[in-house]
Amino acid sequence: MNRLMKKTISNVRALKIPRKYFCTEGVKVAGSTTGEASNEHEKKQAINKIIPQYDIAIVGGGMVGMALACFLASMPMTKQLNVAIIDSNPALASGLHIKKEDAPDPRVSTVTPASISFLQDAGAWKYVEQNRHAYFNVMQVWDYTGLGYARYNARDVNKDFLGCVAENKVLHNALLSCVKDSDFKTTIYPLRLSSMTLNTSSMSIVEENTNSVEPSSAQGHGAKLQLSDGSSLYAKLVVGADGGKSHVRELAGIKTTGWNYSQNAIICTVEHTSENVCAWQRFLPSGPIALLPIGDKFSNIVWTMSPAESNSRKSTTEEEFLKDVNYALDYGYGPRPTSGLLGTRDMFSWFKMDAAISTNEFFEIPPKVTKLASERMVFPLSLRHANSYSSKRVVLIGDAAHTVHPLAGQGVNLGFGDAFSLSRIIAEGIALGSDIGEVNLLKKYEAERRSGNIMMMAILDGFQKAYSVDFGPFNILRAAAFHGANYISPLKKSIISYASGDHKLPIFL
C-alpha cells in the first residue's frame, strides 16, 4: 500500500473529554481538543444530543480486532470508513513500546503462511519482522510409546517455511502500528462495552405517522453501544472481536455450543544453549507438549495436562520444572522412537516409492531446555463455537466466534482468516452500495467462514480425543498412523497444507 499521506489520524480519546466536542460525523480532530463543558446542564444536553456515529465499532482490539482494522485500512473501498475500536486494554491507548531485547512473553502464536500473506498484503508483517520472531521449516511430531514419529518439512509442500512463531505482544503491536501509520480514521475508546441496543426501527409506526415523517437522523441509527463510562455511540455494524467470553455475542443473544476439556495448558518461555529452529510436538499420556522456536535462544512451551498436574507444575521450583520439561520432551514416559521398531517401517515400506523428502530424515532429539525465561501461565482448555456468526448489525470474529484448544496453533489463524474474509465482504458491500450492517451481507461472511472453522475444530477435537486414551492397541494404531503419515507423501502434504492455512479438504479424516 503506498501511503502518500503518512498522517496519523488515529487518536485516543481520553476518558475526560466531554461528548460535546464530538460531532456526529465522528471525531475529526485529534483527541487533544480537550476542554471542560461550562456546566453540568450543558454537559448533559451534549450527552443527549450528540452521540458519535461510526460506520463500524470493533469491540475488542485484540489481535483479531486489530487485524480487521488493518485489513480495512488497506483497501480502497474501506479505507474511508469511520471506525471506533473499543477496548480497555492499556496497550491500545499508550501503544506498546517493545524492544527486541525485552524479556520474552509467555503468550505466543504460530502464524501460518496463509495468515502471513494476509498480513503482508495489509502492510503489517514488516512490523513483526522488526521484533523477535522465528520462522520454522521443520516440524517433528512423535509419541511417547516410541512407536512412531513424523517429520514435516516445508520443502514437501514447496514452501519456504511452515509457519512463524511470534509473541502475541509482537503481533498485536505490529497490527497497532500498521493502523496508526495508515491514514485510516480510527478512534480508540479505552473503555469496555456494557450494553447494546440494536435499533430495530419498526416500520409499522408509519401508519400513524403518515403525515409527520421527520428526518430522523437526529436519533441516530444502527446499533447503539453503551460504554463503561456511561457514554454511548452509534454504529452501522458492530464487530464482536472481544474474545472467548464475548459480551457482544451474549448481548446479541447468540448461543454457543461446546465443552471444556478437563485439561489445562501450561505455557511459558524457556531458553536453550543454542538456537532452536524446529517446531516439536510430543504426545504424552496426559496430552501433548509443544516446543516452538520464538527467536534468539528462546522457545515457547505449551504443555497440556490435568488440572491437578498443571497446578503443581506451575508452583514447583524452576529446577524441578525444567527437569520435568526435559523428561517430557525426550525419554520420559517411554523410549525414543527408532525406525524399524515392531516392523512398522516394513508395514509401510511399500509406500516408500512415493515418499516425501523428509521420509529420509531421521528422528531427532529436541534441544535441552536450560532456563525458564518467563512466568508460567495456566489456561483451561475448551472448545466453543457460536451457533451463528451474525445477526442484524452484529458480526463475530476470532475467539468470540470460536475457541479451539492450542494444539495445532490454529486459534489466532482462524481469527485472522475471519477478519480477512469479513473485510472483503464489507468492501464488496460498499462497492455495491449496501448497508454494511445488513444481515444478507453478513450472512455471506458467515457462509464463507463457518464450515471451514467447524472442520478445523473437528480435526483438533479428534486429535485431542485420540490422545486422551491410553490403551495398548490404540497406541500401536496411533503409531502406525504416524508412521503412515510419515511415509505416504500425498497424505502428509494434505496435513501440512491444511495446518498451514491452505483451504483444502483434509481427506485424511
Partner 1 sequence: MAMASNHLRNLTRISVHRILHHRFQSLLNAARFFSDAASSVPQPQPNQQSSPPSSLKDYELAKFAAIADSWWDSEGPFKPLHVMNPTRLAFIRSALCRHFKKDPYSAKPLEGLKIADVGCGGGILSEPLARLGATVTGVDAVEKNIKIAQLHAGLDPVTSTIEFCCTTAEKLVEEGRTFDAVMALEVIEHVANPADFCRSLSALTVPNGATVISTINRSMRAYATAIVAAEYILRWLPRGTHQWSSFLTPEELVLILQRAGINVEEMAGFVYNPVTGRWSLSDDISVNFIAFATKSNSTE
Ligand X SMILES: Cc1cc2nc3c(=O)[nH]c(=O)nc-3n(C[C@H](O)[C@H](O)[C@H](O)COP(=O)(O)OP(=O)(O)OC[C@H]3O[C@@H](n4cnc5c(N)ncnc54)[C@H](O)[C@@H]3O)c2cc1C
Residues that bind partner 1 (CB under 8 A): 1-2, 24, 53, 71, 74-78, 80, 118, 121-122, 199, 201, 203-207, 209-210, 213-217, 221-222, 236, 420, 424, 427-435, 438-441, 447
483 binds ligand X, rule: CB under 6 A: no
87 binds ligand X, rule: CB under 6 A: yes
Partners of 284 in the beta sheet? 287
Among 222, 288, 293, 398, binds ligand X (CB under 6 A): 398
Restricted to residues 183-202, the positions that interact with ligand X (CB under 6 A) are 192-193
Q: Are 254 and 388 in contact (CB under 8 A)?
A: yes
Q: From the list partner 1, ligand X, none, which binds 121 (C-beta under 5 to 8 Å, kind-based)? A: partner 1
Q: C-alpha cell of 44? A: 448533559
CA distance 197 to 178: 31
CB of 349 to ligand X, least distance (A): 35
61 binds ligand X, rule: CB under 6 A: yes
DSSP 8-class letter at 273: S
Q: How many CB atoms lie within 10 A of CB 130?
A: 13
Q: Measured between alpha carbons, how far is residue 368 from residues 146, 158, 291, 316, 322 in Å?
A: 19, 30, 11, 19, 9
Phi first, then psi, for residue 391 (nearest 5°) are -145, -175
Q: Are 494 and 504 in contact (CB under 8 A)?
A: yes
Restricted to residues 100-129, the positions that interact with ligand X (CB under 6 A) are 109-110
Give whichever of 77 and 481 is closer to partner 1, judged by the CB atom. Answer: 77
CA distance 129 to 68: 20
Q: C-alpha cell of 96? A: 506498546
CB of 186 to ligand X, least distance (A): 15
69 binds ligand X, rule: CB under 6 A: no
Q: From the list partner 1, ligand X, none, which binds 61 (C-beta under 5 to 8 Å, kind-based)? A: ligand X
Q: Measured between alpha carbons, how far is residue 257 from residues 53, 241, 253, 385 in Å?
A: 34, 18, 13, 5
410 binds ligand X, rule: CB under 6 A: yes
Give whichever of 46 and 439 is closer to partner 1, judged by the CB atom. Answer: 439
| E strands present in 311-460 | 371-372, 377-386, 390-391, 394-396, 402-403
CA distance 436 to 432: 10
Mark the segment that binds ligand X (CB under 6 A) among 138-146, 176-184, 235-243, 435-443. Answer: 235-243
The answer for 250, left when phi > 0, alpha when psi is -120 to 50, beta otherwise, is: alpha
86 binds ligand X, rule: CB under 6 A: yes
Give whichever of 122 and 479 is closer to partner 1, judged by the CB atom. Answer: 122
Partners of 268 in the beta sheet? 301
Strand 377-386 to 82-86 pairing = unpaired
CB of 207 to partner 1, least distance (A): 8
409 binds ligand X, rule: CB under 6 A: yes
CB of 377 to ligand X, least distance (A): 7
Give whichever of 273 and 312 is closer to ligand X, judged by the CB atom. Answer: 312
Q: From the list ligand X, partner 1, none, which binds 415 (C-beta under 5 to 8 Å, kind-based)? A: ligand X
Interacting residue ranges for ligand X, rule: CB under 6 A: 59-65, 86-87, 89, 109-110, 192-193, 241-243, 247, 265, 267, 302, 379, 398-399, 406, 409-413, 415
